[in-house]
Amino acid sequence: MVVANQMSPIRVEKKKIPTIDLSAKESQVSKLIIEACEEYGFFKVINHGVPHHIIKTMEDESFRFFHKALPEKQRVGPANPFGYGNRNIGLSGDTGELEYLLLQTNQNSIANACKLISSAPSKLSYTVNGYIAEVRRLACEILGLMAKGLGLPLQVFTTLLTDRDTDSLLRLNHYPPPTAAAAVSSTTNNPIGFGEHSDPQILTLLTSNDVPGLQLSLGNGHWLPVTPDPQAFCVIVGDLLQAMTNGRFVSARHRAMANTSSTESRLSMVFFGGPPPQTTITCPPQLLKLNKPLYKAFTWADYKSHAYAHRLGETRLDHFKLS
């Protein structure tokens, strides 16, 4: 079960989450991204090129689903791992104050899920696929800028998300107002909406509406609230990218607090960029000229199996460290 940290969330005044304008000069953008990945593993991007109407339509469809009666939402099936879930965050029994819809990003899976989600499945499939295509494009652009800043060929990272068998996910998280939360959970109110964790994939792109809740861990029990900005995407370094950069990039630990707004729901739309399952994860030799490798080679399938077998919040990458 997710347990709240007893220390109240605090803002460290000298710390500020970087916001990077992707329309600026490419060399400067690349430099800023590298710095953000090294210090936080977390940054925001603006002027990202994803059309606002595509984000808004996806948000509207998400709210349309979550505002349905519980029996209708449960038709999508229990999240095992894909489908609809409430409070059960992961496969290891972790809980939080939210409900969610987890989808694979391939078109066949989306088409099948939309038949259960909507009375107009073709329209919904078009919306979901359009959103995923735009966010995947943005993820590849950012990975390319990372590669450039590290002095690597662009395809070292970008091909991981463009392969036909990519193992990416779209997760829609809905945090109801406190008055509505009772309908999702009969337990006492838990201040944690989604507990502390890092993302196991390569890169996460998250956008949310204008309701706060996301927080970035600064270590030692200190948490930095992430100011919501519907015009921006949060970019979060995942465990695989930390391994592929030999620890130079930091896999960001983060959490979401339960919604405290009495009038508005919080919605986050989260794209998890994952490679094909049999992809071998290693650090490119260009980054090992002055350093020994920290991690042994492993496949995404191996790491995914290991990560999902552990509780939310546990440190998982250490298992693959070289002694």
Helix (H, G, I), strand (E, B) or coil at 130: helix
**Spatial CB neighbours of 230, under 8 Å, sequence gap ≥ 6:** 55, 207, 208, 209, 210
**Contact indicator for 260, 176 with CB cutoff of 8 Å:** no
**Contact indicator for 211, 230 with CB cutoff of 8 Å:** no
Helix (H, G, I), strand (E, B) or coil at 292: coil
291 phi/psi in degrees, rounded to 5 = -140, 145
- Among residues 128, 197, 118, which one has the least CA distance to residue 168? 128
**Spatial CB neighbours of 138, under 8 Å, sequence gap ≥ 6:** 45, 48, 49, 50, 205, 233
Would you call 266 a catalytic residue per the annotation? yes
C-beta neighbour count of 49 within 10 angstroms? 11
C-beta neighbour count of 92 within 10 angstroms? 12
99 phi/psi in degrees, rounded to 5 = -130, 155
CA neighbours within 13 Å on the CB side: how many for 257? Answer: 21
State the catalytic residue, choosing from 136, 266, 311, 316: 266
Query: What are the helix (H) ranges across the chain?
Result: 26-39, 52-66, 70-74, 107-117, 121-149, 155-162, 178-184, 239-244, 300-308
| Residues designated as active site | 266
